[in-house]
Amino acid sequence: MVYTSRCSIADMVARAPQEAEPSFIGLPSFLKLPYVTSHDDLVGLKPDIAIMGAPFDMGATIRPGTRYGPRAIRQAAGYVGGSPVEPMYHVSLRIAPFKILKVVDYGDANCPPHSIEQAHQAIARKVAQVLEAKALPIVLGGDHSITLPSATAVADAWGRGKVGIVHFDSHADTAPDSFGGSLIAHGSPMRRLIESGAVPARNFVQIGLRGYWPPQEVWEWMEAQGMRWHLMAEIEERGFDVVIDEAIDQALDGPEYIYLSVDIDVLDPGFAPGTGTPEPGGITPAQLLRAVRSIVSRVDLVAMDLVEVSPPYDDPGAVTAEVAHRVVLEAITALAAKRANST
């Protein structure tokens, strides 16, 4: 809207679309979507997707700070997602996702900073509430240990053995323990999910692994369980699209549903410096966004998490939080496109 010198302040106020506030005004729910505080309200609204935070980093082993990840991701984008005045429009998929899907922000699990066990219980309860409301949970971490309670709640709801996991990460997170201590820190959640029977090992597929960890005996354990993975070197040699196709087939070799887990450190740290354990030589944001769109459009997604954003280590432009936000938004848009194309 262009105003001339003849336009009064009153005219400007009258003409302005008051519903469309900039993202920096008001409470920072994800894309300023409706913020729901009670389970009864969540059930009553009947959303398709509920975004929730798991602000927890006691499972971190190197650099802490991911407890602030959910807040940073929510604040990252300057878009207004739920505005009735100017709904968001994906220029490539040519779709306005929030015209098709009802999405809410369900706040955060109440994670006490003094207890991994209590925090994980709070996350599991919150995810279970979303599932009870017949909504798809998207969980903003938090360190990667939060996948253990989140994916366990999902497997219990949909049926153990019926959910495969596609896991983007630079690290396998299958260590037996953390420095001889905790069994449920962020280097071990995938091992615990497999040992508990929540997810079949052969349908736990990892993409983007690289670097110098875990040690050889852990790789041997993974192989003995029947886990499958695609190293960064394989992506470079065979091509990303080929790897994604194979990963989908492997994760769904038996199960009906997919849980998608994205550790932001799968990206090269040049694109995502704000993370706890950066690993050089990773994929690009464009590759990750394309992969997420591809997977979500082709599988029956029942849950997703995005983890390991550590704002204290992000650059001044918060680029890590920005790309994390976009990963979540691309998943939502792909779900909307899938629904639109099925009707």
Looking up residue 119, the CATH number of its domain turns out to be 3.40.800.10
Please determine, for residue 82, whether its predicted confidence score (pLDDT) is greater than 80.
Answer: no
The answer to whether residue 46 is domain-embedded is yes
Residue 250's identity, in one-letter code, is Q
- Enumerate residues 6+ apart whose C-beta is below 8 A from 14: none
For the stretch 77-92, what's the b/e string if a residue is b when 16 or more beta carbons lie within 10 angstroms of its beta carbon?
beebbbbeeeebebee
Name the residue with higher pLDDT: 178 or 310. Answer: 310
Cα 215 to chain center, whole Å?
27
The answer to whether residue 11 is domain-embedded is no
Q: Note down the domain range covering 124.
A: 22-342
**Domains held by the chain: number:** 1
Q: What is the pTM of this model?
A: 0.91
Distance CA 48, CA 50 (A): 7
The answer to whether residue 80 is domain-embedded is yes
Please determine, for residue 6, whether its predicted confidence score (pLDDT) is greater than 90.
Answer: no
Name the residue with higher pLDDT: 88 or 36. Answer: 36
pLDDT of residue 184: 73
The answer to whether residue 274 is domain-embedded is yes
Please determine, for residue 271, whether its predicted confidence score (pLDDT) is greater than 80.
Answer: yes
The answer to whether residue 150 is domain-embedded is yes
The answer to whether residue 131 is domain-embedded is yes
- Structural contact between residues 185 and 146, judged by C-beta atoms closer than 8 angstroms: no
Farthest-apart Cα atoms in the chain, separation: 77
* pLDDT, tens digit, 9 for 90 and up, residues 287-301: 999 999 999 999 999
* The pairing of beta strand 228-231 with beta strand 204-209: parallel
pLDDT of residue 13: 40
Token code pair at residue 72: 């940073």
Distance CA 298, CA 96 (A): 19
Q: How big, in percent rounded to 5, are the helix, strand and coil portions of the chain?
A: 45, 15, 40
Label each residue of 169-227 as H, E or C: CCCCCCCCCCCCCCCCCCCCHHHHHHHHCCCCHHHEEEEEECCCCCCHHHHHHHHHHCC
The answer to whether residue 319 is domain-embedded is yes
Return mean pLDDT, the chain: 90
The answer to whether residue 16 is domain-embedded is no
Distance CA 298, CA 245 (A): 10
